Amino acid sequence: MRLPTGTSEYNAKLDTHVTTWTINPGDDDSNEAQPGERPLWANMQWLNSGGDGYDPHATTFGAIATKIPSKPSLKKSCDKCWKKPDQDGTPYAACASCKVSRYCSRDCQTSHWKEHKPLCRVRVQHAQAQLKEAPDFRAEGTFVSQTALRKWYYDNVDIVDYAIVQLLQLYKGDANSLWRTHAVLFSLKGGKEGTDVAADDLDFSDASATSFTDLARPDRLELNLPFLQLVGAGKRIILIFIPNRTHDLMLIDSHDLPEESEWAAMEQDNMWRMHIRMRDMAREMVARDSV
């Protein structure tokens, strides 16, 4: 039996590559079941036949399911000393005003206030302005709050990290990567028109790296370098999340650099979009092997 083959296309309207594929049980014995047994989904061949602007790539459901390791929801590091909390434990206390910046101690929060105050004010004003305009966003489509976008980011930090490595070319090493000059833009989709969209309703659509110079252009997002530096550019990785192509609802945040020990283990993956988009489905299929 041979299942349907996907079609290869580039969707200009969405400005995104569409991952195309073929499911192929294969003509060899790699997935041949013994008498009384059934073939394993984990061994089923998956052919990314059109793929993301790269050459065709053969893999399996099992390989896709395990390519990107799961991580617990992100616990942000201290904004003052950059100490990282236990990712399986409790997050650090948040700033009472913006509820975003985190601090490992009262001393760190107090000593960081002068530096944090301008960004804190911008965050609070931006969130309040969006909430005020929420009815207009719902009338024109969907409303996605900063809180919902940030929760999606934290809960999906595994695929966020994976995309960052590829787009900013962190696999080339710190000195040769793009994190000092580029941000990563994540396009998210989901939710019903006329509603407030929760984090669980959002899905990854695409991601791209954009230079700080391009971000400042009037025909792009008009994010100038001084503002990006306020967020953390030059010290941390800059991330931008845009829901349902609505730039006025974007979330701008900073992300910790990898630990020194993590750089050497990074590798290039030309099929990273496919691995992100197909991971959940592959895991669902592989889970059937144990039922």
Beta carbons of 287 and 73 less than 8 angstroms apart:
no
> What is the rounded CA–CA span in Å between residue 55 and residue 47?
11
Written as six digits, the tokens of 52 are 């993301």
pLDDT by residue (tens digit) across 221-243? 999 999 999 999 999 999 999 99
Angle between helices 272-287 and 157-167 (to 10 degrees): 150
pLDDT by residue (tens digit) across 90-128? 999 999 999 999 999 999 999 999 999 999 999 999 999
Burial 60-87 (b: 16+ CB within 10 A, else e): bbbbbbbbbeebeebbbbbbbeeeebee
Asked if pLDDT for residue 19 goes beyond 70, the answer is no
Looking at this protein, which amino acid is placed at residue 181? T
Strand 182-189 versus strand 237-243 pairing type:
parallel
pLDDT by residue (tens digit) across 164-174? 999 999 999 99
> What is the rounded CA–CA span in Å between residue 58 and residue 93?
46
What are the helix (H) ranges across 55-205? 61-67, 106-132, 134-140, 146-155, 157-167
* 201-230 mean pLDDT: 95
Range among 38-42, 111-115, 279-283 rated most confident: 111-115
Beta carbons of 95 and 101 less than 8 angstroms apart:
yes
184 backbone φψ class: left, alpha, beta (φ>0; ψ -120 to 50): beta
- Going by C-alpha positions, the residue among 73, 87, 83 that lies closest to residue 104 is 83
Beta carbons of 177 and 165 less than 8 angstroms apart:
no
Asked if pLDDT for residue 12 goes beyond 50, the answer is no
> What is the rounded CA–CA span in Å between residue 44 and residue 263?
32
What pLDDT, on the 0 to 100 scale, is given for residue 11? 42
